[in-house]
Amino acid sequence: MHLFSICHPVPFLGLISAALVAPTSETLEYSPVEPRHVARRAAPDSPSGNYAPQTVDCPNQRPSIRNARTLSDSETSWLESRRPKTIDPMIEFFRRADLEDFDAEGFVNANSQDFSVVPNIGIAISGGGYRAMMNGAGSLATADSRVEGSLDAGGLGYLLQATTYLAGLSGGGWLVGSIFANNFSTVINLRDGAEDSNTWELSNSIFEGPAKLEGVGVLNTIEYWRDVEGSVDKKRSAGYEVSITDYWGRALSYQLINAPHGGPAYTFSSIADEPKFKSADTPMPILVADGRRPGDTIISLSSTVFEFNPWELGSPDPTVYGFAPTRYLGSNFSQGSIPENGSCVRGFDQLGFVMGTSSSLFNQFLLQNISSSDIPSFVAAAIDMVLTGIAEEDNDIAIYQPNPFYGYRPATNPFAETEQLSLVDGGEDLQNIPLHPLIQPNRKVDVIFAVDSSADTNSNWPNGTALRATAERSREEAIANGTAFPAVPDAETFINLGLNRKPTFFGCDTSEFEAGHIPPLIVYIPNAPYTYNSNFSTWKPSYSDQERNSAIENGWNVATMGNGTVDSQWLACAACAILQRSLERTGTEIPGTCNSCFERYCWNGTTDSTPVDYQPTSVLDEGATGNGGVPVSGHPLLRGLIGVTALVAVF
């Protein structure tokens, strides 16, 4: 039985683990298993050795703002290594999918030198706090060939290894950030941790602090918050404005980064030098935030969407249309460059601060608990001091000062005249799935697996709101910048047609798009109750190991349709989704298996807008029939499962 088998009558608790074998370096990126530990990064990258940024000598080629007309030289060079490394795992994925009437392996091999043909895959993990982190973790675990069980029937193993881009936002950004902060560890290793690790230890809330500090005894809550406050004070003393996001990001780091004190000197840009990423053995991580225009209090769909990647922070939107080097954030850029008499700064892009920026909505989470007995009075006083300097409506901002886009493109850039760049949670514009960076035409992504853990309904399940927001934005010419997006139905249709209870493909019929503006096919994977009701409140602060593990397990079953028990052909259909754009570009006849899949999974434009109160039961309780005609309730893997107490509502 693999780690995420759904045949056990109680939620898997993650307390029993198989012996895992360390892969050789030659097979690292494709090995189905990896050593059972949470890997630490080689070294912190901030020159100060702590949370404070520090002035450094500028490199010979002084940092500058790059216009967004093309991809960066760094990304372009990296892609030249990454795309070829997706070939072998993609072939392995297609072998497992076993399309009987199409030689997918031969198709990829025949075009392995032509990346205008070979599918280009992206994965996007939505926001939604810990709920999103855990549900997204289940999806990534089954896509990761290193995880036991991902290569069993129904598992999506090798999909992650074949992926080019991995984007996260808010809680999904915690997942993506944590994986890369910890040397691209597997979800299982992050979940199970190590003896001296607090990583993903969620039973102590973020307000209490971790149970251990560097493996030695219990960490007193006051000591924990004193450490957080001391880190932020170092940044303030170094002359930088701080925000509540600094406190939130530092606290978050304790749960997500396996390093002493949550790795205060670890930077997001140091991912670019991490050996696995530098050699293009992993996807490229992207986190998303929104820009808040000076004087605005509401984030609208026309707001500028910013992305963080290992090399750059910026936006391809026609407003900013530029990117700053992530490593040198905090430097005094003016009109696109650092003056000759100006200094360079490093260490501003601390990993927790970047993850906190993408999830700055949770600043309110911290403020709501400021009077909690878990938060010492001196921390409350420090946060109050921050609050006196900002308006109440700006409690959710992350302050980037100096503003790297100061004086840059003043004719279009709303941030050009302010010394402070204010960034907020990437989901505040309702685009809660980080699709924006993946639908940019110059990235040429063919298919996006979009994992949605949003709490759109009263019962905290998704109803496609994030997809509709991105679709609507793509129709606003002033901000769309050449992006396109498939049509998406209303919320009621999502519920009434069950589009939020199973994977659904959007954009199958490319005739709806203008020639030359065909967006990626969207494989929408919404959180739904399979083996556990993982619809936790976004504001739930702590989770027992059982809750955490059961939510991750449910995420696995969501992404695999119950390990293929709801549809035994789901793996083949996922393969068809990956191939669809490539087959169409090359004029290759769509195989019958794929046509059958598209009939089942493509939204065909049907709508049903009847109002409905969505209170779902288990997908597996419905007696759904897989493609092979076996009712789920009678499937051998599910005997004894239906009706168990594992399916109780949570919040």
Following DSSP, what letter does each residue of 391-446 receive, concatenated? -GGGTT-EEESS-TTTTSSTTT-TTTT-S-EEEEETTTTS--S--GGGS-GGG---
Q: Are 125 and 167 in contact (CB under 8 A)?
A: yes
| Within-domain flag for 469 | yes
User: What is the domain-level CATH number for residue 171?
Assistant: 3.40.1090.10
Distance between first and last Cα of the chain:
30
Tokens 């608790």, residue? 13
Tokens of 201: 């230890």
The answer to whether residue 289 sits within a structural domain is yes
Mean pLDDT of 425-452: 97
The larger pLDDT score, comparing residue 237 to residue 22, is at: 237
Residue type at 380? A
d(CA 384, CA 370): 10
Instruction: Please check whether residue 42 lies inside any domain of the structure.
Output: no
* pLDDT (0 to 100) of residue 174: 97
pLDDT-based confidence at 208, cuts 50/70/90?
confident
Cα–Cα distance for residue pair 126/454, rounded to 1 Å? 7
DSSP 566: S
Give dist(CA 558, CA 121) in Å, integer: 19
Give the mean pLDDT of 604-632: 72
> Per residue in 97-145, pLDDT tens?
999 999 999 999 999 999 999 999 999 999 999 999 999 999 999 999 9
Contact 274, 183 (CB under 8 A): yes
Q: Is residue 49 part of a domain?
A: no
Can you say how many angstroms the Cα of residue 77 is from the centroid of all Cα atoms in its chain?
23
Tell me if 621 is assigned to some domain. Answer: no
Phi and psi, residue 122, nearest 5°: -125, 150
Q: What is the mean pLDDT of the chain?
A: 86
Full-model pTM: 0.89
What sign results for the dihedral spanned by CA atoms 60, 66, 69, 70? positive
Please give the Cα distance from 278 to 645 (Å, whole number).
46
Count CB neighbours of 290 within 10 A: 25
Rounded to an integer, the average pLDDT of 42-49 is 82
Asked whether residue 425 is assigned to any structural domain, the reply reads yes
The amino acid occupying position 407 is G
User: CA-to-CA distance for 507 and 598, rounded, in angstroms?
Assistant: 11
184 has pLDDT over 70: yes
Cα of 102 vs its chain's centroid, Å? 32
Please state the domain count of the chain.
Answer: 1
Query: Model confidence over 270-312: pLDDT tens digits?
Result: 999 999 999 999 999 999 999 999 878 778 888 999 999 999 9
The predicted-structure confidence for 12-29, as pLDDT tens digits, reads as follows 333 223 322 233 333 333
- The DSSP bridge pattern shows strands 344-346 and 398-400 to be unpaired
| Residue 198: predicted pLDDT | 83
Give the structural domain span for 157.
Answer: 54-601
Give the residue, 546 or 539, on which the prediction is more confident. Answer: 546
Q: Is residue 24 part of a domain?
A: no
For residue 642, pLDDT beyond 60: no
Q: Which amino acid is at 479?
A: I
CB 401 within 8 A of CB 467: no
Model confidence at 43, pLDDT cuts 50, 70, 90, reads low
Phi, psi of 448 (to 5 degrees): -120, 120
Q: 589: pLDDT confidence band, cut at 50, 70 and 90? A: very high
Is residue 86 within a helix (H) or strand (E), and if so which, with residue range? Answer: none
Is residue 557 predicted with pLDDT exceeding 90?
yes
The residue among 166, 185, 32, 22 whose CA lies nearest residue 96 is: 32
Tell me the two tokens of residue 189: 């290793």
Q: Cβ(68)–Cβ(316) under 8 Å?
A: yes
Q: Are 347 and 265 in contact (CB under 8 A)?
A: yes
Write down the pLDDT at residue 633.
32
Estimate the crossing angle of helix 171-181 against helix 351-358, to 10 degrees: 160
**What is the pLDDT, as a whole number, of residue 382?**
66
Nearest in space to 379 (alpha carbons), one of 206, 198, 230: 230
Sign of CA dihedral 432, 361, 45, 339: positive
Give residue 257's pLDDT. 94
Q: How far apart are CA 64 and CA 336, in angstroms?
A: 6
Q: Does 13 fall in a domain? A: no
What is the tens place of the pLDDT at every residue in 385-422? 665 554 455 567 899 999 999 999 999 999 999 999 99
- 204-213, 234-243, 460-469, 534-543: segment of lowest average pLDDT: 204-213
